[in-house]
Structure 1
């Protein structure tokens, strides 16, 4: 049995980036960029106005005031998308936001400081030279790197991609994640319950949702009974996947068959089995495929353990495989409310906590039922509080680290 940090290191050292694909810009939101993006021209491409008003020569408005306004003849107009015009001494041009700065002009006076009468503009205030002008290349210059590969594309990145004329863009392919649920007792939705011992799957669909949220493409490989032939058949369906998640069948019972048969059917090389963590101790990890480019996670069947392993182990691996430059959820220091005790401390424990932020502090409230089978504990939780190996008690008011996987608590 290895420690969690060691297990995570093994996982990430054996996770390879997936291939690239080209997508249209309007399909790129949320994808991971697989190329560096450079400016194809200066932005703005020329000096332009940041205000509606008048473009003038600074020397013509020097000393202007309410009592002694500068009076200039209006000779031209510059609007966004219009042609370049010119002003000379004693003249001004109407200018609108985004309009090119006329040849000869070096200052823009906002409309509120002016009055127009009979083809002339009266300017009632001297401004600094260069006021209200957005300079050429003020945002970025041709050749500047604007976005680096590995960044998740948000609406802001989409705006930049459009501005530099990228109708298509290379992104990392989203990993296909197969979900195989095992156990005689597990029923899919719609199946009739015929025995008291039978239960409907929750893992299949909670993991399905987690994978979508993480940016992967979930595929339900199937439901395998505790039967050699059925398990072999279902595992064959997983050969197209980049990552295979199995739930259940990974412990030490007579019917816990998964670990042996992923090795037989898929050629999985198991790199570790059992981690000193709670919940999720009986987790297995391995690699497979022609170049060991595919990943296998054998996850416990208890629903909270399954979700915990996916959040803490599968998520960073999926992000790395997807080319994401940010692998981990944020960790905050939080005040533990009510304290937490446990009898054994030989494993790192992930306790479900609800978070709140008050008086510039995070507060972590543990869910009262922490069992790995208590799925309802995940409903109100925002993160995992970390109780380290060797710690039996954290008292009320003491600080703990919390992995924040759900930031909804920040919304009011």
Structure 2
């Protein structure tokens, strides 16, 4: 069944996101690249070396986004449902996607996407005992993270994991920004846009494909009753309300939770300035303010559709503060109580006082190592420094190309793409 909402993207299609909307004028060149892929073995197709830029910088049209470059229809028209061809590994999940939004990729590209998806799944440590009649059986959980830009969601999750308060390693971690870094063409777009500045970004060029991979991963994880962590902001209230209602109807055995990370506006602005200085990427102040205004409104509306919603206040040089938003009369505001909701009959986390040191994250190698333990198996090309210090992927520390201050993950010159 095709659902009216795709699982994890929170923004509607934007025609302005495509630097080359006229398919006929620019997109045919790269079909020679797509056709070439059809002659490679399945094992080869799972490797980034089989795809641009490593397979050949000049054979790909870098003005075209990947979701257009590898679409199944060559005439620029959208494939009808009866024309869709799916690679076998995640075919059932792919059938559930909204193809009024997504393009269906050619089979070779699906094979590559499947390898990315499988890595994320294989990284999960399944601690749930799902055997029939077991006293420790616990229902699967979907956690939606929420928070304005740069608030420190990844930093907070890392801290909770370090203190044994949240079993992050037992969740399928769906992070569209990290998925972007796993798309081989990301580095090629970065290089092309450095040489040919345009009103777009490398992240925009792979956005629709990363969203599609996220959606397939989400649908498959639902089928397999996995714990799921969806990284996002929850800004699109109407879309998430529709998704939450769908989940309540179709997978009532799941527990739905929101972990909302907040900070004062002064702290968020200061972090944005620090991030811009270190990485060269600045977020417009108006965009930051809109994010800070909208997210708490969305959380307030959506919390009643969840089993539990918590707010974690993450201000620099202050203890992380826990606040229950829903239900407000069931839990006490301490970390021991927080740890109980994730564990049934297991040893719970001990009461702790965690002080936010996010601004020191660029130099805290212990935090970087913890981040590697959490994310690197699922997302080999993620940036640990940006994860804990910037609450984002810089979009530049990928495939050996490091164009920001993230020297902690810099690779030898011999590995850098030329």
TM-score tier after normalising by the smaller chain length:
under 0.3
Q: Which has the larger radius of gyration?
A: 1
If each structure's strand is expressed as a fraction of its own residues, which one has the higher value? 1
If each structure's helix is expressed as a fraction of its own residues, which one has the higher value? 2
Higher relative contact order (CA 8 A, sep 6+): 2
